[in-house]
Amino acid sequence: FAGLADVSISEDIPVEGEITVPVGSHSPDEDFSTLDEPVRDTILRDLKAVGKKFVHVMYPKKSSALLRDWDLWGPLVLCVSLALMLQGGSADSKDDGGPQFAEVFVVIWFGAVVITLNSKLLGGTISFFQSLCVLGYCVLPLTVAMLVCRLVLLAGAGTVSFIVRLIVVVAMFGWSTLASTAFLADSQPPNRKALVVYPIFLFYFVISWMILTFTPQ
Amino acid sequence: RHPLATFFHLFFRVSAIITYLLCDWFSNSFVACFVTILLLLSFDFWSVKNVTGRLLVGLRWWNQIDEDGKSHWVFEAKRVPTIAASTEAEARIFWLGLIICPVIWTVFLFSTLFSLKLKWLALVIAGISLQTANLYGYIHCKLGRQKSTSRVTS
């Protein structure tokens, strides 16, 4: 390449070229790299996101992970496990507590939808699915409480076990409510915070009530 | 070219429908059937949205939240679609599976309402919403691509 060392462009040659702007939606190159990624990467990426959110619920600081990349897998898993643990516990269960199972589902999802609509009507800036995501993930402490209650009930159903269950459920209820209000109350104007926190309080109260009044047959 | 993706595209949807129809044969337990069908529907939603759409027809849609908290729905289409005989067949299977299954779940909705087996109602509504969401998302992607090519050629 010795001959290239003394190549130079004299200044009176115009430099010209063509600038083309692609028409239509311009997607950055990173999108096309995930458009062709192998399936295992997609699965692992989503699983890691779900796991991170569970950790964020246990330590509720004001991080944006729960809010920015919402997903509804965590709420689905929590809802199913809570409904599974809560069935077979009421007086009129005939075959296998089928209606009670569907009831828990309906209470959780319908309740979450109503709270989201309420906060949107009060002028909140959070989007519908973000709010569902936060409310769903914050059911995690109550699911843990349910697990503990079932284990305590295996040991016996007397007054002591009731007191233990009461303490556990109240503690987890407080944790759930605090975690969800930490994420949701920020998106409201300051004079409306109580109006938004109250339905969330009620929602987790109903779930805690279902957990506390559960008695196995 | 993507036989595994085509298989999974149809597998979860058709298994959910078959399990719903034959749940009395498989097990006596309402809860087991409910959870199985719900999990099949969720896996189907995820795989159609994230995997089979981009592999079979090169379309994708998602929701993204930017810094000031506003949510945008993004519909994306592969710029240069390859037209080969196998991709035509795969695309046809994709769209047929995408359209026929929500229709079947709507039929189930009416049969549940009229036979008053209301404990299945939550499941049928979940099935309809998940499958219709994918259908709507992909139709939006496809229409978006046609709109942009017509702008180029006009």
d(CA A25, CA B74): 10
Taking the Cβ of residue A98 and every Cβ of chain B, the question of whether any pair is shorter than 8 Å is answered with yes
Task: State the ipTM, two decimals.
Answer: 0.78
A23 closest CB neighbour out of B30, B71, B148:
B148
Taking the Cβ of residue B62 and every Cβ of chain A, the question of whether any pair is shorter than 8 Å is answered with no
pLDDT per residue as tens digits for the range A96-148: 555 678 888 888 999 999 998 988 888 777 888 888 888 999 999 999 999 99
Do B16 and B127 touch, CB atoms closer than 8 A? yes
Do A82 and A172 touch, CB atoms closer than 8 A? no
d(CA A51, CA A48): 5
Q: Which sequence spans correspond to the domains of chain A? A: 71-214
Q: Is the pLDDT of residue B109 over 90?
A: yes
d(CA A102, CA B121): 9
CB contact under 8 A, B31 and A129: no
Taking the Cβ of residue A23 and every Cβ of chain B, the question of whether any pair is shorter than 8 Å is answered with yes
pLDDT per residue as tens digits for the range B86-105: 778 888 888 898 999 999 99
Q: Which residue has the tokens 């104007």?
A: A189
